[in-house]
Chains A and B, each alone.
Chain A
Amino acid sequence: MTRSIEEMGAFIVEGKIDLPATFSAGAVASRFFIEIRDNKKIMGLRCPQCNRVYVPPRATCKRCFGKLSEWCEVSDKGTLLAYAISHQANAAQPVQPPIVYGIVQLDGADTGIVHMIGEVDCERLHVGLRLQAVFKDKRVGDILDIKHFKPLR
């Protein structure tokens, strides 16, 4: 598909590049996704040296560079640390706007997890809001097995 921009003498060539990719989650993230998929459990990794629990889990502690292997289950309830509301539709977004994106610190975790906040009246949103994970009925092993976090009533 080509268009000419007459006044400039330039041509515009339109097309697309499509490279299918297979991204390895790795053993650590695999366990995280599988526990959510099979058991609706949210798992983290603890750094024994820094006494920090990483959720989502990662194999290396960013503070002490220690190798992490101590798994622990954290709560599916947590606290909203920050949020933003997207009103603009975008092909990359998993649901239709408005979308509330939030960072949620689950009880028992020392880090926040980014996800969507649902079933919420935007007027009621505030930092510190208590939330609970809503799992999908049909889970496939990716981050959207958690449908969203909803306010705890």
Chain B
Amino acid sequence: MTESAEADSEGTTSATSIAVATSAESGAEVLADLYRTHVVGLVRLALLLVGDQSTAEDVVQDVFARLHRGGARLRDPDKALPYLRTSVLNGCRSVLRARRRAQLLRVPHEPPVWSAEAAVLAGEDRRAVLAAVARLPGRQREVLVLRYYLGLSDHEIAAVLQVSRGTVSSSASRALGALARELREES
């Protein structure tokens, strides 16, 4: 909603202000600019998938650290934001995968923001919706977040997730169907 509009306008701002990177030095500058511009939006995106802020920050930090280490030349700023989003989603997937394994060892992690324990999110209905989303398979959850949080079109979602548009629409409709069933049963 307002957040997605903000992210989009920030994206274009950075696109105009970033000059073509020609050396490692200015590459780092470009990266730093991208970081300043997008860190909040990306951490929020990660937060919706992994559930807690510190893990979300870790995921985003890792993405930038890796970009920096790889000496990436961000010559095409238009592609930077979708690329960063893809990287963040991949990072979130790894976290969630590792958590499933870590559950075998009963390693605790922070309660998600939508749990009653965390007590940071007001509204029973919101918590129920987010908890139901968290129980969906990974790709369905990602599609919902990209569509209803970032407000991306199915075409853009397909690019970020690196899947076909057909996969995006079928994941979305399956996810909405499952949510409708589950939320009706709960309430």
* A joins B in a complex: no
